[in-house]
Amino acid sequence: MESIYIQTPLGIAKIEGDKQGIATLSLVEDVALSNEIPSCLQEAVSQLNEYFSGERNAFDLHLNPQGTDFQKKVWKSLEEIPFGKTRTYLEQAKILGDVKAIRAVAAANGKNPLWIVLPCHRVIGSDGSLTGYAGGLWRKKWLLEHENPMRQQSLF
């Protein structure tokens, strides 16, 4: 498994993967940035940089997250949430076919190993609140504002 550490507007990201696909994309603290990009991670680095620069609103990467079958089903459903849109945990549970699984869905979202690529930041509370984000609610807010097509332009 290859890895790289890159700077993003939200902190240092660690990308891990191999020829089977990207396994993890997470935030880390206090590590040195990488100087060279392994060939199997070049596309992920490129697409992540395009996302943060506003040039990309969907990822096209081969993914290889590790988890239970249920977690993988939940994570796959995250890919269906359009850029700039949100879905509630209840809506996600309904789409997955079991309204009573809302807590299990939320727990699986919390274990999402592919930060941003599988957009769990687009899942919000039923009352519209920004709840449950492992990277911190300030990052969730930043990501949703970054993806908002109606961004407020500065007047000055």
Residues 6 or more apart in contact with residue 2 via CB below 8 angstroms: 16, 17, 18, 38, 40, 41
Give the dihedral of Cα atoms 16, 18, 22, 28; nearest 10 deg.
Answer: 0
> Which residues are the active-site residues?
120
